[in-house]
Amino acid sequence: MSLSPAGNAPSAMRELNDLKAALAQTEATLMQQRDQLKQRGMTLPPTVLSGVAAIQAEVAHLEALFFEEDNEISQLRALADMSAALTTTLDVDTVLQEALDIVILLTRAERGFLILLDADSGELVFRIIRDQHPPKGGSSGTPQISRSIVNEVLRTRKPLLTDNAFQDERLSSNMSIANFALRSVLCVPLLRKEEVIGVVYVDNRLQAGIFTERELNTMTAFANTASVAITNVMLFEEIQQLLAEITQVRDLMDNIFASIGSGVIATDRNDIVTTFNRAAEEDLGVSAQASIGKPLHQVLPTLPFDLSDQIDAVLRDNRSQVLEIDLTTSGRGRIAVMMHLNPLKDSSGNVQGVAMVLDDITEQRQREQQLKTVRTYLSPEMVDNIQAISSLALGGENREITCLFAEVRALATMKDTPPREVLDILNEYFSIATDCVTDTFGIVDKYMGTELMALYNSQLIPQQNHAALALEAALMMRDAFVQLYERKGIQPQPHFYRIGIHTGIATLGNVGSLSRRDFTAIGDTINLAKRLQENAKSGQIIVSEVTHAQLSANLAAAYRFEELPPIQVKGRQQRTRMYEVFRA
């Protein structure tokens, strides 16, 4: 008699029960016949009842096989369900907890743990803990398991099964077996390709011999599925982290791009706008949102000529072009722009479009026009001085001057400020310092990062009391900066500025070329003024001994001087005396 297929378990079970009932009825009938024959002095053949008993034993064996196969099929179905759940969700912990409960039930384990190996520290991390009989009072500390078994599985990358831990010769030296009263233990590695990432560990502290090859197969299948799921989550987390880093870099690039003072517009080879920064918005009065994705000719204001020819030349010849043009904008009216057209290349060097850098030179043109107007209204004396300076040969002349170096605000005090705001802040401080210099009839020689250099008694404006004027400019800066602090609602302690002043002989004249030259001063006097500024602390105004000596008695009375320890300046043998200055 054959059984129904495994997929029709209820029908197969009914057939087995019917067969058992028929055998029991047959055995009872034969027993009755044996008794009746015995009364008549006859007997049944001895093989009849033994044959029935043999058939009953075979049926019992078939029933045991059926239950075993049905149990195995249930395990396989459970594993299939677990596999589907684990590989279709990113909430792996919840599914793993439920799956480990099923594994404990199928393997008849008492406890189960999914343990991961930290790749950086090498420590064991209990990811999932399932305990049917947790310690009274709640769990405290790390679960009590055989770490020797776990470490052996991690080392060999092979599963370990012991059906009686106390009598297993492999574990005879393992004190945790006795200390934790472990009987049956099954531990299977979690593998990602050739790398072991953890283990699945189940045990039973009460019964021995409950784990067989079938439980080992179940655990191995579960471990393989769990490994795939955990690997997927790890990859997802790595991707999420990478995306976060990419987003951070992109935001940083966007911030840098937005802080560029020049307008930047980029197009592809079809003249479609792909990039449009904030400066371009301000210059042209057109929003980036309304510009990106549009043809360039729809974005730019009306041009005095067709720009497509120049763009075609950049794309064709892979060569930059510079244009100076006038644009009529909706918000600012007519502006002057210096436009740089540059080929936009990919990582392989192929031209993919054009990058346009727009520099607004409207104010520059206005200043040039104002300079022309000023030249018309300058006094003859001032014009003569300017002409005298322009007539100086390259190299200049020696002259006693007073040089002032001022750091208006150190970059370290603005370390968390966006670059565009840093420039705005520095410009505000420079504006105050420049006004103080010009109000005392000095000239600003140059701006250097966060510092300015000012000269007194140059050929442009000759002065007898140049030391006093430079000192007054420094004290005016202090007063003006304090007022700025009050307006801004800040209380810097110490103040942001550092100022150094020195009087001496310097060489003043023109440097550069015949077509482009700058008027400046060089020499030891300039260097010492710079060193004094560098040695000043924040909020200090320092003058040299020479500058102090230049002040007349009545002027010196208006100030208070505190002598500081002298400093050794490079290139000088004697130490330089210096004084901190305050208003009296």
What DSSP element (H or E) covers 148?
A: helix 147-156
Q: CA–CA separation, 366 vs 355, rounded Å?
A: 27
Q: Which fold has domain 391-583?
A: Alpha-Beta Plaits (3.30.70)
Strand runs (DSSP E) across 27-74, as ranges?
none
Q: What is the pLDDT of residue 377?
A: 40
Q: What percent of the chain has pLDDT over 90?
A: 24
Mean pLDDT of 131-135: 70
What whole-number distance in Å separates Cα of residue 574 and Cα of residue 502? 16
Task: Please report the pLDDT score of residue 73 as a whole number.
Answer: 62
Question: Distance (Å, rounded) from C-alpha 539 to C-alpha 499?
Answer: 8
6 vs 242: CA distance, rounded Å = 49
User: What is the per-residue DSSP string for 190-210?
Assistant: EEETTEEEEEEEEEESS-SS-
Least-confidence region, from 322-331, 349-358, 510-519: 510-519
pLDDT at 502: 96
Q: With a cut of 50, say whether residue 283 has pLDDT above it.
A: yes
323-327: which pairs have CB atoms within 8 A and are 24 or more residues apart? 324/361, 327/284, 327/300, 327/301, 327/302, 327/303
Task: Report the distance separating Cα 174 and Cα 146, nearest Å.
Answer: 8
CA atoms within 13 A on the CB side of 480: 19
- Whether residue 463 contacts residue 441, with contact meaning beta carbons closer than 8 Å, is answered with yes
> Are 101 and 80 a contacting pair, CB within 8 Å?
no
Across the range 85-91, mean pLDDT stands at 60
Show me where the domains of the chain are located. 6-82, 90-130+145-237, 260-364, 391-583
CA distance 82 to 128: 15
What does the pLDDT read at residue 3?
A: 35
> What letter represents residue 423's amino acid?
L
The answer to whether domain 90-130+145-237 has CATH 3.30.450.40 is yes
CATH superfamily of 260-364: PAS domain (3.30.450.20)
Average pLDDT, the chain: 80
Quick one: average pLDDT of 366-388? 56
Report helix, strand or coil for 490: coil
Q: Where are the alpha helices (H) located in 415-558, listed in sequence order? A: 419-439, 466-488, 524-535, 545-550, 553-556
One fold for 260-364 and 391-583: no
The answer, yes or no, to whether the previous bond of 494 is cis (omega within 30 of 0) is: yes
The encoded tokens of residue 61 equal 């064996």
Residues 532, 499: Cα–Cα separation, whole Å: 8
Calculate the alpha carbon distances from 122 to 125, 146, 230, 278 in Å: 9, 17, 18, 50
Helix (H, G, I), strand (E, B) or coil at 334: strand
Task: Give pLDDT, residue 381.
Answer: 38
* pLDDT for 166 beyond 80: no
Query: For residues 547 and 471, is the Cβ–Cβ distance under 8 A?
Result: yes
Task: Indicate if the pLDDT at residue 508 is higher than 60.
Answer: yes
For the chain, the 3-state helix, strand and coil shares in percent, each to the nearest 5, are: 50, 25, 25
pLDDT tens-digit map of 463-477? 999 999 999 999 999
pLDDT at residue 80, as a whole number:
61
* Contact (Cβ atoms closer than 8 angstroms) between residue 117 and residue 198: yes
Question: Per-residue pLDDT tens for 414-439?
Answer: 988 898 899 999 999 999 999 999 99
Q: At 277, phi and psi to the nearest 5? A: -90, 175
- Burial of 477: CB neighbours in 10 Å, binned 0-12, 13-18, 19+: buried
- Look up residue 5 and give its DSSP letter: P
Residue 154 sits at φ, ψ, to 5 deg, of -65, -40
SS3 275: strand
| C-alpha torsion sign, points 429, 430, 431, 434 | positive
Could you say which DSSP state residue 173 is in?
A: T
- Tokens in use for 271? 């003249």
pLDDT digits (tens, 9 = 90+) for 204-240: 877 777 888 888 887 888 788 778 877 777 788 788 8
Question: Which one is predicted more confidently, 136 or 446?
Answer: 446
Average pLDDT over residues 50-64: 73
Tokens of 121: 């520290």
Angle at 65 between CA 64 and CA 68, to 5 degrees: 85
Of 352, 148, 354, the C-alpha closest to 264 is 354
What is the structure's pLDDT at 380? 37
Residue 318 structure tokens: 């892979």
Burial tier of 259 (Cβ tally within 10 Å: 0-12, 13-18, 19+)? middle
